[in-house]
Amino acid sequence: MPKLSAIEFFSPTRIYFGADVINRIGEDLIEVTDKVFIVTDGESMRHAGHLDKLETLLEKSGVEFVIYDTIPRDPANEIIDEVGTLIRQSRVKIVIALGGRSVINSAKAAAYLAKNEGSITDYLNGREGLDEAVSVITIPTIPGIVESISSEFVLKDSKDKVKKYYQNKSLYPYACYLDPSLTLSLPLNYTVGSGFAVLALAIESYISSAANTISDSLAIHAIEILGKTLKPLFLNKEDVSLRSSVLMASLLTSLALLTSSPGICHALALALSGKTNAYQNIMYAVILPHVMEFNLTAVPNKYVQIARALGEDISNITVVEAAIKAIEGVRKLLFDLKIPQRLSEYDIKKEDLPLVSGLARRYKFLSYTPSPITREDMLNILMTAY
């Protein structure tokens, strides 16, 4: 496994965090532009009142806007191409992405296309473009979207149904508004799934061979926050302070991943959601304990710290016993949050698992897993989880 000889931490994105922080976006924008392009899922964002609120804030500040409000879950490549063309024609300096994972990744991809030739299909399959993109402001309405502050987008290539990465330094968002009040409209199952996705990514960042002092500090704090807040939030999903805590854990995890790496759980969640109709965030939850079992012997001391962060009692037991407590802590959370723990309980066919394992093994970030993993190992994890 490669080892990083130096730590590079770079985050040019301006991050605004807090309840109702969205209210300042109009006055912030008027300092840099008088016209923006909004990318969103209009139906859900209208229903929640988020799009109407954004429009009102922009109108009060005198900022004009053009809206593309029909981004579906995992949009076809042609939709990204269309939005990229519309952004280019609108001649805006700022694109605002309001919504969940598909919206934010789509907006970043389209903003990149607005400054580059060709189709998004080209870039998902290896084409290199310019270090230029229209600046993007992200306003996530669910936790756990690491692309909200990263230099990449992740899209399902509609040509082969595989989720693929594209990275370029121009893709760091100009700003990110993390407002817990915007997550109140999220249904309970999505809320819980999103929180568990953050937990999985925090754990993978923490145990990665690319981890370092900076990422460790951020990730373990995120794990500790989630260990204390996920169950209470499940019992009281209207509590903004609890949602704020989960969103903070999401931010800490996203920052950790700027200098560390995700791992097996992330690869399998991407592959499963790409090749099936499974909800990606829930896939993290189902797969996580099985991946933790696979990595246990590689990083037992870190598992001890994870167990402690999750509130497990690790006094007067061996390192191995304490490490196992970390996995037990995750399983307890799954039970408390009433998340079905078998892949067979979702719309996933057993015969698809060999293909999924092969697709998951292709992700380059798996170079930083604490234990080397083969396609066969991937399949064994999936079969155990099934």
| Tens-place pLDDT, residues 247-283 | 999 999 999 999 999 999 999 999 999 998 889 999 9
Q: Quick one: pLDDT at residue 65?
A: 97
* 288 and 156 belong to one structural domain: no
Q: What is the pLDDT of residues 306-330, one digit of tens each?
A: 999 999 999 999 999 999 999 999 9
> Considering the entire predicted model, what is its pTM?
0.94
The pLDDT-based confidence of 145 (bands split at 50, 70, 90) is confident
178 and 202, same structural domain? no
Do 127 and 160 reside in the same domain of the chain?
Answer: yes
212: CB partners within 8 A, 6+ apart: 4, 7, 259, 260
Q: Could you tell me if residue 67 is inside a domain?
A: yes
Where a domain ends, among 182, 209, 233?
A: 182
- Give the pLDDT confidence score for residue 4 in this predicted structure: 52
Q: Residue 352's domain spans which residues? A: 187-385
Same domain, 157 and 202: no
Percent over 90 (pLDDT), the chain: 90
Tell whether 280 and 379 lie within a shared domain: yes
* pLDDT tens per residue, range 83-111: 999 999 999 999 999 999 999 999 999 99
The answer to whether position 9 is within a domain reads: no
Residue 6 belongs to some domain of the structure: no
Query: What integer is the mean pLDDT of 104-132?
Result: 97
- pLDDT greater than 70 at residue 5: no
Position 346 confidence tier, pLDDT thresholds 50, 70, 90: very high
- Work out the pLDDT band at 1, boundaries 50, 70, 90: very low
Asked if 217 and 122 sit in the same domain, the reply is: no
- Residue 1 belongs to a domain: no
Q: Is residue 313 situated within a structural domain? A: yes
Of 182, 203, 219, the one marking the end of a domain is 182
The verdict on 74 and 35 lying in the same domain is yes
Structure confidence by residue, pLDDT tens digits, 155-183: 999 999 999 999 999 999 999 999 999 99
* Last residue in a domain, options 182, 208, 239: 182
pLDDT surpassing 90 at residue 6:
no
Is 77 domain-assigned?
yes
**3 assigned to some structural domain:** no
Inside any domain, residue 5: no
For residues 110 and 161, membership in a common domain is answered with: yes
Residues 38 and 65 in one domain: yes
Domains contained in the chain, number: 2
Mean of pLDDT values over 46-66: 96
Residue 2 has pLDDT above 70, yes or no: no
- Give the per-residue SS3 of the chain: CCCCCCCCCCCCCEEEECCCHHHHHHHHHCCCCCEEEEEEEHHHHHHHCHHHHHHHHHHHCCCEEEEECECCCCCCHHHHHHHHHHHHHHCCCEEEEEECHHHHHHHHHHHHHCCCCCCHHHHHCCCCCCCCCCEEEEEECCCCCHHHCCCEEEEEECCCCEEEEEECHHHCCCEEEECHHHHCCCCHHHHHHHHHHHHHHHHHHHHCCCCCHHHHHHHHHHHHHHHHHHHHHHHCCCCHHHHHHHHHHHHHHHHHHCCCCCCHHHHHHHHHHHHCCCCHHHHHHHHHHHHHHHHHHHCHHHHHHHHHHCCCCCCCCCHHHHHHHHHHHHHHHHHHCCCCCCHHHCCCCHHHHHHHHHHHCCCHHHHHCCCCCCHHHHHHHHHHHC
The answer to whether 325 touches 314, Cβ cutoff 8 Å, is yes
The total of other beta-carbon atoms located within 10 Å of residue 237's CB is: 16
Instruction: Say if residue 37 is in the same domain as residue 160.
Output: yes
pLDDT in tens, 193-224: 899 999 999 999 999 999 999 999 999 999 99
Percent share of the chain, pLDDT over 70: 99
Over the chain, what is the mean pLDDT? Answer: 94
* CATH classification at residue 59: 3.40.50.1970
**200 and 282 both lie in a single domain:** yes
In tens, the pLDDT along 359-381 reads 999 999 999 999 999 999 999 99
pLDDT-derived band at 192 (thresholds 50, 70, 90) equals: confident
1 versus 188: the higher-pLDDT residue is 188
**Does residue 266 share a domain with residue 137?**
no
CATH number of the domain to which 216 belongs: 1.20.1090.10
